[in-house]
Amino acid sequence: MTAILCAGVLCVDVVVGVVDVLPPPGDILFPETATVTGGGSAYNTGIGLAHFGCSVTLGGRIGRDPLGAVLRSELEACQVGTSALQSDPHRPTGLSVVLVSPGGERSFLHHPGANAALCSADLEPHLTQVSWLHIGGAGVLAQLTGAELTHLLRRARELGLPTSMDTATGPSVAMMDLHGALPYLDLCFVNHLEGTLVTGCQNPNAIATGLVDLGARYACVKLGGDGAVLVNSKHRVVSCAALPVRAVDTTGAGDAFVAGFLSVWTAGGSPEEALHGGAAAGAACVQHWGGTSWCVHKDPVPGTSDTVGKEELHP
């Protein structure tokens, strides 16, 4: 079994919906739903990978505070290793307020807290204990970017580890120096907005092709309700459609997609099978509030035999 170090953003999410307009100053809004849960790209993907039976360790930074203790406890309860999780004595645990609009789309107010201090030195000692490195949330990690990110991925490649990375939406993505990192990536995941910011392209196939031309072995563009496309270094394009479910909250759907994809890919699945695994996990995620609630529910998902679990995604 592939042992995965899933490193990057983890925080507490306060998910509020449905919000179609913010109250004016001094006024109050009464949303239908409010959920407090663990979140962040690395956290969501790590929990998803563990749900599919993968061996996964979470790498990141939390505060030495009650919220950090809750995140550590939740990870351990889900069989996610925490040996690479640092408790920062100077910064609080990251926190996001997630506003979910009608139709399930979300916007974030994100305070990075301890995530801002995550660096290559935090993660390098753990590379010899795993057989895959995944970075979740690249683009909103203040230190683990540019030359620092490239150094970590280069070190992983020197040790013979396959690598993958999932970016995070935000203006910083356009400024992030991905060019140096891409040659050390086996898989680069972006959504359509992130891919456009990084490559300047609008067409999903062109985005993925641009990323592999810059050095990534494979590039996957997540397209939400329009499915996903995967391109390899020979420009072979594979695509999949999204599965037809009613979206309640899209928080963490891209992270769930990555978990489903990697759980199949690292087990030797084909590109088509991995895309299907990602689509099934994403479809399960959007039916629930929060980025990891889908892992404890057993909802039927069109295109799978019954519910989304390890046996449904692995051929």
- Is the predicted pLDDT of residue 312 greater than 50, yes or no? no
pLDDT for 211: 96
What average pLDDT does range 225-230 have in this prediction?
Answer: 97
Q: Is 225 helix (H, G, I), strand (E, B) or coil?
A: helix
What average pLDDT does range 68-95 have in this prediction?
Answer: 98
pLDDT for 198: 86
- Is the predicted pLDDT of residue 310 greater than 80, yes or no? no
**Higher per-residue pLDDT: 125 or 172:** 125
Question: In sequence order, which residues have a C-beta less than 8 Å from that of residue 164 and are 6 or more positions away?
Answer: 132, 133, 134, 135, 185, 186, 187, 188, 189, 258, 262
Least confident of 56-60, 112-116, 153-157, 309-313: 309-313
Q: Is the pTM of this model over 0.85?
A: yes
- Is the predicted pLDDT of residue 128 greater than 90, yes or no? yes
Question: What DSSP string runs through 136-172?
Answer: EEETS-SSSSHHHHHHHHHHHHHTT--EEEEE--SHH
Average pLDDT of the chain is 92
Express as a percent the part of the chain with pLDDT over 90.
84
Q: Whole-angstrom Cα distance, residue 131 to residue 52?
A: 17
The structural domains of the chain, with segments of one domain joined by +, span: 3-18+31-185+247-313
Please name the fold of domain 3-18+31-185+247-313: UDP-N-acetylmuramoyl-L-alanine:D-glutamate ligase (3.40.1190)
Q: Whole-angstrom Cα distance, residue 45 to residue 265?
A: 14
- Is the predicted pLDDT of residue 298 greater than 70, yes or no? no
Encoding tokens for residue 133?
């490195």
CB count within 10 Å of CB 94 equals 29
pLDDT band at 315; cut points 50, 70, 90: very low
The predicted-structure confidence for 209-226, as pLDDT tens digits, reads as follows: 999 999 999 999 999 999
- Is the predicted pLDDT of residue 314 greater than 50, yes or no? no
What average pLDDT does range 19-32 have in this prediction?
Answer: 93
Least confident of 52-66, 187-201, 251-265: 187-201
Backbone angles phi, psi at 139, to 5 degrees: 115, -25
The predicted-structure confidence for 149-193, as pLDDT tens digits, reads as follows: 999 999 999 999 999 999 987 665 555 667 889 999 999 999 999
What average pLDDT does range 32-44 have in this prediction?
Answer: 96
Taking each helix axis from N to C end, the angle separating 204-213 and 192-199, rounded to the nearest 10 degrees, works out to 50
Q: Whole-angstrom Cα distance, residue 12 to residue 32?
A: 20
Q: Does residue 184 contact residue 120 with C-beta atoms inside 8 Å?
A: no
